[in-house]
Amino acid sequence: MDNLGLTGIASIITAGITIAIGSVAPAIGEGLALANALRALAQQPDQSNTITRTLFVGLALVESTAIYCFVVSMILIFANPFWNYFVENGG
């Protein structure tokens, strides 16, 4: 198999691993954050505005990790920086 084919296979496998790990870890983190926020709301209902606001900011930060992994996997699949190198150098 030529270098271009190996680059394609490696890119697709790497993109799959990136999106798999990059979506599982934030999902676990979001679940833990939500569980702790609900526990805090049950203990201190008068602080619900502060807890909810902090929860949403934290969830946005955690979700940004998954979005970055998605962007990296899309770059590896559709705009791979190694394609042009192998195409120009004859594979």
Question: The pTM is what?
Answer: 0.71
Whether residue 19 lies inside any domain: the answer is: yes
Whether residue 44 lies inside any domain: the answer is: yes
How do residues 35-71 score in pLDDT, each as one tens digit? 999 999 999 999 999 999 999 999 999 889 889 999 9
Whether residue 41 lies inside any domain: the answer is: yes
Whether residue 90 lies inside any domain: the answer is: no
Tell me the residue type at 82.
F
Whether residue 14 lies inside any domain: the answer is: yes
Whether residue 36 lies inside any domain: the answer is: yes
Whether residue 8 lies inside any domain: the answer is: yes
What residues make up the domain containing 48? 3-85
Instruction: For the beta carbon of residue 7, count every other beta carbon within 10 angstroms.
Output: 17
| Residue 71: per-residue pLDDT | 92
| Residue 8: per-residue pLDDT | 81
What domain count does the chain have?
1
Looking up residue 12, the CATH number of its domain turns out to be: 1.20.20.10
What confidence category does residue 5 fall into, taking pLDDT thresholds of 50, 70 and 90?
A: confident
Structural tokens at position 77: 């699949």
Q: Note the Cα 52 to chain centre separation in Å.
A: 23
What confidence category does residue 91 fall into, taking pLDDT thresholds of 50, 70 and 90?
A: low
How do residues 7-21 score in pLDDT, each as one tens digit? 888 888 988 898 988
Distance CA 34, CA 59 (A): 9
